Structure 1
Amino acid sequence: MLREFGPEIWIADGGRVTVAGFCYPTRMAVVRLSDGGLFVWSPVDLTDGMRAAVNAIGAVRHIVAPNSLHHLFLPAWADAYPAARLHAPPGLRKKRPDIAFHTDLGDTAPSDWAADIAQVLMTGNLITTEVVFFHARSRTVLFADLLQQIPAGLITGWRAWIARADLMVGPEPNVPRKFRLAFVDRRAARAAVGRVLAWRPERVLMAHGTPVLDEADAYLRRAFGWLLG
């Protein structure tokens, strides 16, 4: 269920999803904007309890998919909140033509949430273009798939070996090796990470992994050291 993560931001863990035999825990975040409306990031499965908890803190105005891989639960949220605007990251509108998106996310925050949340596109990756967000009030940066830490017990057999080799499991969230190799434009990626560091985040939240609650700058420099040099 929803739990407070910081000033005007809540998080909730959803059910596990399986992709190519790999089991992933899921997490969403909800930010209450200055106008009182709610910004829902990477929504998880919508249960009656989840809907009641979200409704208790405000009206859902924006439903945001952070990359083209996070789309499974969007239709249920769109149906439940028809007055909310649905925002598509690069590539998702084409991938899910059945979903009626209102806007496409870009490299800067739209006026709808620019006063509260900044954003940057992590471009140049062959797997997906992720939109990284920064909630200024709580000093929290939000990553979807570029940082992961899958509990080792969720993956067994030969897939466990692949998960370790891919850096999906480990002592702290890391950039999976497949995403590292998929960055064909590292200059653009370095520039985007530079913008993230310039926000001076204090905490890092991810959809699949243990949140980093302190020394965020040092952590991000470790996680992206292979890129920053």
Structure 2
Amino acid sequence: MDPKETYSPLNCPKPVAEGIWIFDGLMIRMDLGPFKIPFPTRMTVVRLGDGTLWIHSPIAPDEDLFSAVDALGSVRHVIAPNSIHYWYMADWLERYPGARSYAVPDLATTAKRPFRIDHPLMDGARFAWESEIDWILVPGTKVSEAVFHVPSARTVILVDLIENFEAAKLSSPLMRFMLKLVGGLDPNGMAPLDLRMTFRPKRKQVRERLQRVVDWQPEKVIMAHGRIYDRDGAQELRRAFRWAI
């Protein structure tokens, strides 16, 4: 693994806002046609008002990572926010059997590594944390994604609706070219073309829901892949979602 491609140090908390941390994880390789694209991984941890933790898109765990999370509080909620970001849910629920799990609805039937789903992230559902975290489901055909907002920190949390890879962290010129072509290269991060296409059949609903995300007017935006936005979040969302709104 090329250390330039990761966001070292790994598996340790990095403060983003009051009560919000990101943990950068190991690199994975995803298929993009005939190519293997290196994807840095990232999870987000929010400490709720009662001191418990809300874990978003959990990454590959080890004992050091579990210890670092335990130092922040007691894990109570674990989130699989879209149809792709779920692989390590089973590991985290095994470690924290008392935690409640949340997932986009299609994972109940499509997950290749099944895990317990206590609460589907479906329209109309009510959750214990919703007085502190807003959320909205953006529905697609092959991929749906739940987007979250912590109003007290003016921070939006998502995974693939924006990918923002930094060219300096991509060792292959061809990969840089491909990402620039399909979308997802910093400073013009956005959902890649294949993902955008999955939302086209529901574009009216997608447009309305992404506009609501912009209307949250966040200052910061955390995504799973690439450089986060630590300022001008609403402006970045409006630019990144221009394909839909």
- Whether TM exceeds 0.5 here: the answer is yes
State yes or no: 1:11 paired with 2:28.
Answer: no
Aligned to 1:185: 202
State yes or no: 1:170 paired with 2:181.
Answer: no
User: What is the alpha-carbon distance in structure 2 between the residues aligned to residue 72 and residue 146 of structure 1?
Assistant: 18
State yes or no: 1:113 paired with 2:129.
Answer: yes
Structure 2 length normalisation: TM-score?
Answer: 0.86
The CA deviation string for residues 127-180 of structure 1, in whole angstroms up to 9 with x for no partner, is 300000001121100111110022334363655443221112232422212222
- Quickly say closer, same or farther: Cα 1:74–1:126, change in 2 above 3 A: same
Structure 1 residue 108: deviation in Å?
A: 5.5
Aligned to 2:242: 225
Aligned to 2:172: 156
- Quickly say closer, same or farther: Cα 1:147–1:155, change in 2 above 3 A: farther
Which deviates more from structure 2 when the two are superposed, residues 213-222 or residues 62-71?
Answer: 213-222
User: What is the alpha-carbon distance in structure 2 between the residues aligned to residue 140 and residue 162 of structure 1?
Assistant: 29
Q: Secondary structure at the match of 2:134?
A: strand
Identical aligned residues as a percent: 33
Aligned residues: 227
State yes or no: 1:147 paired with 2:147.
Answer: no
Structure 1 residue 114: deviation in Å?
A: 0.9
Structure 1 residue 59: deviation in Å?
A: 0.5
Q: Secondary structure at the match of 1:50?
A: helix
- Quickly say closer, same or farther: Cα 1:206–1:42, change in 2 above 3 A: same
- The one of 117, 121, 126 equivalent to 1:101 is 117
User: What is the alpha-carbon distance in structure 1 between the residues aligned to residue 86 and residue 59 of structure 2?
Assistant: 9
- Quickly say closer, same or farther: Cα 1:36–1:108, change in 2 above 3 A: farther
Aligned to 2:99: 84
Aligned to 2:6: none
- Quickly say closer, same or farther: Cα 1:102–1:58, change in 2 above 3 A: same
Structure 1 length normalisation: TM-score?
Answer: 0.92
Structure 1 residue 182: deviation in Å?
A: 2.2
C-alpha contact (below 8 Å) 1:148/1:174 kept by paired residues: yes
User: What is the alpha-carbon distance in structure 2 between the residues aligned to residue 216 and residue 56 of structure 1?
Assistant: 29
Q: Alignment RMSD, CA only?
A: 1.7
Aligned to 1:61: 76
Which deviates more from structure 2 when the two are superposed, residues 88-97 or residues 73-82?
Answer: 88-97
The CA deviation string for residues 177-203 of structure 1, in whole angstroms up to 9 with x for no partner, is 222222211110111012112222111
- Quickly say closer, same or farther: Cα 1:157–1:203, change in 2 above 3 A: closer
- The one of 49, 52, 62 equivalent to 2:67 is 52
C-alpha contact (below 8 Å) 2:103/2:119 kept by paired residues: yes
Which deviates more from structure 2 when the two are superposed, residues 177-186 or residues 138-147?
Answer: 177-186
